[in-house]
Amino acid sequence: MTLQLTLRPEQSEEELRALCEKKFRGPLRYFKILKKSLDARKKSDVRWVYTVECGSRVPAERPRTYAQITKEAPKAVIAGAGPAGLFCAVRLLRHGIAPLIVERGKPVEERAEDVERFFRTGVLDTESNVQFGEGGAGTFSDGKLNTQTNSPLNRDVIETFLEFGAPAEIGYLSKPHIGSDRLRGVVANMREFILANGGEIAYSSPLEDVKFQNGALSEVNIGGAWRAADCLVLAVGHSARDTFEMLFRRGFFIEQKEFAVGVRVEHLQEEIGKSQYGSQYKLLPPADYKLVSHAGERAAFTFCMCPGGVVIPSASEEGGVVTNGMSNFARGGVNANSALVVQVKREDFGGEHPLAGVEFQRNLERAAYLAGGGEYRAPVQLAGDFLAGRESCGFKEVLPTYARGTAFAPMDAFLPAQIVRAMRAALPDMDGKLRGFASPSAILTGVESRTSSPVRIVRGDDLQAVGKAGVYPCGEGCGYAGGITSAAADGLRVAESIVQKYL
């Protein structure tokens, strides 16, 4: 039996079972929450809405199946151990293909130490940082799993995360998240599974080159050594700029792809809760939001909102400032933050070169570094001063969380004029949808430049790179995803295509 039930914020979730027994009119041997969402349309009557399944019999679980690895299986190499690469590897193993994952960065535990050292000292490891290393860029985020894509593989992604230790609630929350702290353990569990079932992982081993014979992949160069390969999955992430350059030299069909840039905006989490939920906000989880504005000459939108989170230094190249947001599972921080970004159009890149968007991003990051005064300090401006066109000279109720320190600087010191104009139009417009969003004390921190990949490595219907048989562009870096879930789903999709071709 499937039931729709509601609870008030002050009610315990333990009351659901009693409600089910009352409606079922008998003892329950099976009870499962299928979906949980928050209905906050009326602030005076906020409710949790549940879909639950219950009954007198426990349904049999579908067993996980694994094929035996054989000598006939193709030599498969996966470049990148982010969500696309890891999920691709797990799916290949289930079909009996043992891949080699090559990762330019370090295992997630060592990578976390390098990230913390950068936050503390400003010493950047360009191969082990927020962008590069086991788990991918999403490891240092909020671990959000909601996606705008409507793929049947999305459920596979959730089930796989649960299998490797993600919190049980991601299986039924309408806006699931794992949190950066717990995501690291899930990534480590996936690694151990891959190694225990015949896969290999080579760390600190960037993909440096590829060779083709008779139009098909024959070898890959990993950290300076050539290795035979039948297929290569390019799951390199959106910051693998040197890899994009290598692929361009090797004649891959690469397209410019539009993306978005802007800043991180920080508010007090308590104020966001009051605006979203009214007086009941303390009884509910930290509130989130998602806003879009068409008030300016270009659309602006919020992205990667991190309730109770921090703004983090996310550079992967020396001499550039990059920001991102991160929350742990509890989302217990004082501030809320999100990206406030504006669409960048191809004409902004200033050229037809396929990698022009990469250089556009790089120039913004270097300009932000200079505006912050060096040492990876970030330029900041209060929202009220930004709207008034004046420089800031002190903080108010909101204090910045960016670990490397900040320096007051106007946003137009590093952002293009068209981006600044669109943000100035968007802030008051968004304030009309979420009261307090344009609060004078809100902090704008720059620059948010790595929202998505600036390129697309073009692939055909068989998911192989056009004219490069055996190479499979995959995930966010190659232009086919926009977050953890969609990247992981693309990894599953590519794995199935490889299985179909070789087995």
The CATH number of whichever domain residue 163 belongs to comes to 3.50.50.60
Total domains in the chain come to 3
Task: Quote the CA–CA distance of 91 and 96 in Å, as a whole number.
Answer: 9
Q: Are 39 and 92 members of one domain?
A: no
**Where a domain ends, among 408, 433, 448?**
448
List, in sequence order, every residue forming a beta bridge with 255; answer none if it has no partner.
456
Q: Would you say residue 70 lies in a domain?
A: no
Q: Would you say residue 67 lies in a domain?
A: no
Q: Are 99 and 183 members of one domain?
A: yes
Q: Are 311 and 418 members of one domain?
A: yes
Interval 293-350: pLDDT, tens = 999 999 999 999 999 999 999 999 999 999 999 999 999 999 999 999 999 999 998 7
Task: Say what the pLDDT of residue 169 is.
Answer: 96
Using the CB atoms, write b or e for 175-203: b if 16+ within 10 Å: ebbbbbebbbebbbebbebbeeeebebbb
Task: Say what the pLDDT of residue 69 is.
Answer: 67
Q: Would you say residue 392 lies in a domain?
A: yes
Q: Are 115 and 252 members of one domain?
A: yes
Cα–Cα distance list, 432 to 381, 426, 440 (Å): 21, 10, 14
**Where a domain ends, among 405, 433, 448?**
448
Q: Are 143 and 51 members of one domain?
A: no
Tokens 């309730």 correspond to what residue? 307
Task: Say what the pLDDT of residue 206 is.
Answer: 97
Domain range for 431 is 259-448
Task: Quote the CA–CA distance of 132 and 202 in Å, as a whole number.
Answer: 14
Q: Would you say residue 71 lies in a domain?
A: no
Q: Are 183 and 281 members of one domain?
A: no
Q: Are 162 and 231 members of one domain?
A: yes
Cα–Cα distance list, 22 to 14, 19, 26, 27, 54 (Å): 14, 5, 8, 9, 12
Q: Would you say residue 27 lies in a domain?
A: yes
Q: Would you say residue 23 lies in a domain?
A: yes
Task: Quote the CA–CA distance of 330 and 244 in Å, as a whole number.
Answer: 37
Check residue 23 and report its DSSP letter: H
Q: Are 344 and 413 members of one domain?
A: yes
Interval 33-55: pLDDT, tens = 999 999 999 998 999 999 999 88
Task: Quote the CA–CA distance of 146 and 138 in Å, as a whole number.
Answer: 13
CA 243 to chain centre: 20
Residues of the chain below pLDDT 70: 63-71
Q: Are 204 and 153 members of one domain?
A: yes
Q: Are 412 and 483 members of one domain?
A: no
Instruction: Give the domain CATH number at 24.
Output: 3.30.70.2700
Task: Say what the pLDDT of residue 66 is.
Answer: 66
Q: Are 264 and 301 members of one domain?
A: yes
Please answer whether residues 55 and 30 qualify as being in contact, where contact means their C-beta atoms are separated by less than 8 angstroms: yes
**Where a domain ends, among 448, 472, 490?**
448
Q: What is the DSSP string of 275-316?
A: HHHGGGGGGSPPP----EE-SSSS-EEEEEEETT-EEEE---
Q: Are 222 and 80 members of one domain?
A: yes
Q: Would you say residue 68 lies in a domain?
A: no
Q: Would you say residue 158 lies in a domain?
A: yes
